[in-house]
Amino acid sequence: MSEPLLEVRGLKTRFSLEGGPVLAVDDVSFSIPPGGTLGVVGESGCGKSVTALSIMRLVPDPPGRVVGGEIRFKGKNLLALSEPEMRRIRGHHLSMIFQEPMTSLNPVYTVGEQIGEVARLHQGLDRKKAKERAVEMLRQVGIPAPEQRVDAYPHQLSGGMRQRVMIAMALACNPELVIADEPTTALDVTIQAQILDLLKRLQAERGMAVMLITHDLGVVAESCDAVVVMYAGRVVEQASVRTLFRQPAHPYTAGLLRSIPSFHAVQSGEGRERLKTIPGMVPSLRRLPTGCRFRDRCERALEVCARVDPPLEAKRDGQSAACHNPVPVP
């Protein structure tokens, strides 16, 4: 077994708000092997993006701050590095594709200038070489006529092209790990498929690892090796993709899987049935229930669930869940 490329141990990220401090990420742990793909899933507000920003050390301070745990990249604790040391890693060895390219790209610089800046900063290229690198990256991510597009501004490109520019920026220095935060959220289904296929192709060509943050379990099934399921700032289940989809252990994971429209139901004429939903709402991080955070919405809740917060522990081979009464193997 090779050493993990990224290992997150007991990560805690707190935000100081008017109503008091809130732990947006609470004791989160996982690892990613070299060349592997980890999916991080959960409802909006569960802590997926804050976890990614914590790894990149981009949580705005104030109001946010990493207050506990370790983030080890190639054995080095990123939280112990100075900001200049972290800047040398960020973008070069470890990079991120942000959720909304229109707000992440600078509107007053051409896309070529923005891609080239990454190469100039980390690889010491001059302006001419940096522009050539930008053209090559635009070509690699499938943008037509890259020699002309390199001088375009973000508003002159479609949403799909802007997302490809974000990927080009993230991969300009051949990073070993890319964090993709909802990379297809604002795109139509056809463009989504193209972006995911592009990421998979580039990953295979470069041998890089990917941490894919998404709420779409279909994307996870198609793209990932392993999955981390988050709920209310905590990890509630970890498993391989095959295990998670065949035999989820946590009731929350099982509920997410039941809410996916079934192709077989449509084929058999049962597609008019209402989709199964998880009752209730995600609790506010300011007013979390005692014991298990999911218990108010859980059909398998026991008396102990109101008293004891279940730890994340092994339930089956290679599968962990934070649950007192896990879903039985079908």
Hey, is 120 helix, strand or coil? helix
- Pair 206, 297 in one domain: no
The residue whose two tokens read 């080095």 is 76
- Pair 212, 291 in one domain: no
Give the integer Cα–Cα distance in Å for 210 and 230. 18
Contact yes or no for 35/2 (Cβ under 8 A): no
Residue at 161 is within a domain: yes
Supply angle C-alpha 325, 329, 330, rounded to 5. Answer: 125
- Pair 158, 206 in one domain: yes
- Pair 296, 213 in one domain: no
Contact yes or no for 32/5 (Cβ under 8 A): yes
- Pair 196, 284 in one domain: no
- Pair 48, 179 in one domain: yes
Specify the pLDDT at position 260.
80
What's the CATH code of the domain at 56? 3.40.50.300
Residue at 95 is within a domain: yes
- Pair 106, 216 in one domain: yes
- Pair 68, 191 in one domain: yes
Element (H, E) at 178: strand 177-181
- Pair 11, 94 in one domain: yes
The residue whose two tokens read 């998670």 is 244
Contact yes or no for 6/211 (Cβ under 8 A): yes
**CB neighbour list of residue 304: distance below 8 Å, 6 or more residues apart:** 291, 324
DSSP 73-88: ETTEEGGGS-HHHHHH
Q: Which of 169, 172, 173 is nearest to 183 (CA)?
A: 169
- Pair 210, 61 in one domain: yes
Element (H, E) at 197: helix 189-206
Residue at 329 is within a domain: no
Q: Which of 217, 314, 235 is nearest to 8 (CA)?
A: 235
Give the integer Cα–Cα distance in Å for 29 and 116. 35
Residue at 43 is within a domain: yes
Residue at 239 is within a domain: no
For the entire predicted model, the pTM comes to: 0.90
Specify the pLDDT at position 22.
93
- Pair 14, 52 in one domain: yes
In tens digits, the chain (330 residues) has pLDDT values of: 568 999 999 999 999 988 889 999 999 999 999 999 999 999 888 999 999 999 999 999 889 999 999 999 999 999 999 999 999 899 889 999 987 777 889 999 999 999 999 888 888 889 999 999 999 999 989 899 999 999 999 999 988 899 899 999 998 888 999 999 988 776 788 888 888 888 899 899 999 999 999 988 888 998 899 999 999 999 999 999 999 999 999 999 999 998 887 655 555 555 556 778 888 888 989 889 999 999 999 999 999 999 999 999 998 778 999 999 999 987
φ/ψ (deg, to 5) at 15: -115, 130
Q: Domain range spanning residue 181?
A: 6-224
Q: Quick one: tokens of 72?
A: 């080890």
Residue at 238 is within a domain: no
Residue at 229 is within a domain: no
Contact yes or no for 210/216 (Cβ under 8 A): no
Specify the pLDDT at position 179.
95
Could you tell me which residues are beta bridge partners of residue 26? 12
φ/ψ (deg, to 5) at 323: -155, 135
Which of 189, 224, 259 is at the close of a domain? Answer: 224
Sort 268 into a burial class: Cβ within 10 Å, 0-12 / 13-18 / 19+.
exposed
Number of domains in the chain: 2
Residue 70 Cα distances to 8, 9, 27, 85, 312, angstroms: 6, 5, 10, 16, 18
- Pair 217, 281 in one domain: no
Residue at 314 is within a domain: yes
